[in-house]
């Protein structure tokens, strides 16, 4: 067991990080040379969704704190991975952006010497969500870090991080985990039936969290099946509009169910901290704090809804990719092999050119939603394009 075990299919990246940890250890002993050269004070870890960027950042932080370079069993490893280590700061957001106030607090902590550990490690899991002001606040700390401070930024691509930040970081790119590696992980760690593990790994397209959900939860698989039914239900304009509406409603329902689980806990915790309902409470201040929390929760719900829709569109894109594979006789493995007969039927009554236009329509819908076009309008335009071909 080690802190690197959750980085499925990322052996090249793990080797780089392990070398850096060894270099950090050598540097602490006052050595110099090639081993020390593998370590730097600022890292940018990029990779597609589900590839394990955040896991890589946490594992690296744990290995830096661990006397055995990431054994996974000592107190330093366990507390670093969980976010409880006093010298490992983990920042992520469920909102649309990371605010400058959060980064300023992180910068303040980064300037301090480690209290218990070997390094002060700052892991920003959503560096692509830094506002311009937050990036400016972070820049100086990355340019002139404290001697024992290491910054680890995580983002989907290098282009998602502002140039002034990314130019000062060492880039580490994670790959999409191979299907076989993900399936092996599901069988070995979760005890999933091999056939179900193979399906989940293919359907998730390298997204490890999604693979786990598909393997564990029948409801998740049912929701995905309903999304993949859409292309076969588009028989006229009315069906197109109905399908778009159903996709939006399903996304709201799923995001709302997830939000409901955490919203009430957050509100109760804040009310308790503010002393709401107790003698001496300050209603005006409490009301302002509660209003801010409500605004944050609404923003989070919006992000989750958008994420659910995007996942549905990725599944649709994969379906049409399979259609194109059949039409062009490319010989590649189908992502949705269980839908083979339906895919063959759809491939037989359309052309590769039509399929490419449909894939482009889905891509355009994803981009429109990302730029805050009303989801229903974007999806209606997409479903009509899928119908018309």
Which residue in this structure is represented by tokens 């404290």? 146
CA distance 214 to 222: 9
In a domain, 184, yes or no: yes
* 39 and 97 fall within a common domain: yes
Asked whether residue 69 falls in the same domain as residue 144, the answer is yes
Query: Is 226 contained in some domain?
Result: no
Q: Is residue 228 in some structural domain?
A: no
**Does residue 278 share a domain with residue 131?**
no
In this prediction, residue 355 carries a pLDDT of 97
Q: Are residues 22 and 44 in the same domain?
A: yes
- Residue 332 sits in a domain whose CATH number is 1.20.272
Residue 284: pLDDT band (50, 70, 90) is low
Q: Are residues 368 and 270 in the same domain?
A: yes
More confident residue, 350 or 270: 350
CA separation for the pair 210, 311 (Å, rounded): 9
330: Cβ–Cβ under 8 A, 6 or more apart, which residues?
324
Residue of 8, 9, 61, 12 lying closest to 173 (CA atoms): 12
Identify whether residues 120 and 35 lie together within a single domain. yes
pLDDT digits over 273-282, tens only? 667 666 555 5
Asked, for residue 223, whether it belongs to a domain, the answer is: no
Whether residue 105 is contained in a domain is answered as: yes
Average confidence (pLDDT) over 41-67: 93
The domain tally of the chain equals 3
Residue 24: which CATH number? 3.40.50.300
Main-chain dihedrals φ then ψ at residue 217, nearest 5 degrees: -120, 115
Q: Indicate whether 229 belongs to any domain.
A: no
Query: Would you state the pLDDT for residue 154?
Result: 94
193 shares its domain with 141:
no
The answer to the question of residue 368 being in a domain is yes
Give the per-residue pLDDT at 35: 42
* SS3 label, residue 45: strand
Mean pLDDT score, 137-157: 90
Q: pLDDT tier at 34 (50, 70, 90 boundaries)?
A: very low
Residues 188 and 288 in one domain: no
Residue 276 lies in a domain: yes
pLDDT at 365: 97
Q: Residue 263's pLDDT is what?
A: 66
Pair 273, 208 in one domain? no
Beta strand 149-155 with 170-173 is unpaired
Same domain membership, residue 320 and residue 269: yes
Q: What is the pTM of this model?
A: 0.80
**290, 362: one domain:** yes
Rounded to an integer, the average pLDDT of 356-371 is 96
Residues 184 and 296 in one domain: no
Cα–Cα distances in Å, from 126 out to 1, 92, 135, 267, 367?
Answer: 27, 6, 12, 24, 19
Q: What is the DSSP letter of 148?
A: T
Closest CA to 229 of 4, 67, 386: 386
Range of the domain at 325: 237-388
């Amino acid at each position: 067991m080690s802190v690197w075990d959750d980085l499925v299919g990322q052996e090249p990246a793990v080797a780089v990080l392990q070398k850096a940890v060894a270099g950090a250890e050598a540097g602490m002993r006052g050595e110099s040379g090639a081993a020390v050269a593998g370590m730097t004070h600022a890292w940018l870890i990029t990779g597609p969704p589900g590839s394990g960027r955040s896991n890589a950042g946490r594992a690296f932080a744990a290995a830096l704190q661990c006397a055995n370079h990431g054994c996974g069993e000592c107190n330093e490893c366990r507390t670093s991975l969980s976010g409880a280590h006093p010298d490992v700061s983990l920042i992520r957001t469920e909102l649309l952006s990371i605010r400058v106030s959060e980064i300023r607090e992180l910068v303040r902590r980064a300037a301090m010497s480690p209290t218990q550990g070997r390094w002060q490690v700052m892991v920003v899991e959503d560096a692509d969500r830094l506002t311009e002001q937050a990036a400016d606040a972070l820049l100086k700390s990355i340019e002139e870090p404290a001697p024992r401070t290491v910054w680890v930024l995580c983002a989907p691509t290098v282009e998602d991080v502002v140039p002034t930040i990314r130019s000062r970081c060492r880039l580490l790119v994670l790959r999409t985990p191979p299907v076989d590696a993900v399936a092996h992980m599901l069988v070995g760690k979760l005890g999933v039936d091999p056939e179900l593990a193979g399906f989940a790994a293919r359907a998730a397209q390298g997204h490890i969290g999604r693979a786990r959900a598909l393997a564990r939860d029948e409801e998740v698989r049912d929701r995905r099946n309903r999304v993949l039914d859409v292309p076969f239900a588009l028989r006229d304009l009315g069906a197109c509009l109905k399908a778009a509406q159903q996709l939006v409603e399903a996304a709201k329902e799923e995001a709302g169910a997830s939000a409901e689980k955490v919203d009430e806990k957050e509100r109760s915790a804040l009310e308790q901290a503010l002393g709401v309902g107790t003698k001496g409470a300050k209603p005006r201040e409490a009301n302002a704090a509660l209003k801010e929390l409500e605004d944050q929760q609404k923003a989070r719900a919006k992000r989750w809804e958008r994420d659910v829709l995007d996942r549905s569109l990725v599944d649709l894109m994969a379906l049409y990719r399979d259609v194109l594979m059949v039409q062009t006789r490319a010989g590649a493995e189908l992502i949705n092999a269980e839908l083979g007969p339906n895919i063959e039927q759809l491939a037989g009554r359309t052309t590769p050119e039509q399929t490419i236009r449909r894939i482009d329509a889905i891509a355009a819908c994803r981009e429109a939603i990302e730029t805050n076009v009303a989801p229903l309008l974007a999806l209606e335009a997409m479903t009509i394009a899928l119908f018309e071909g």
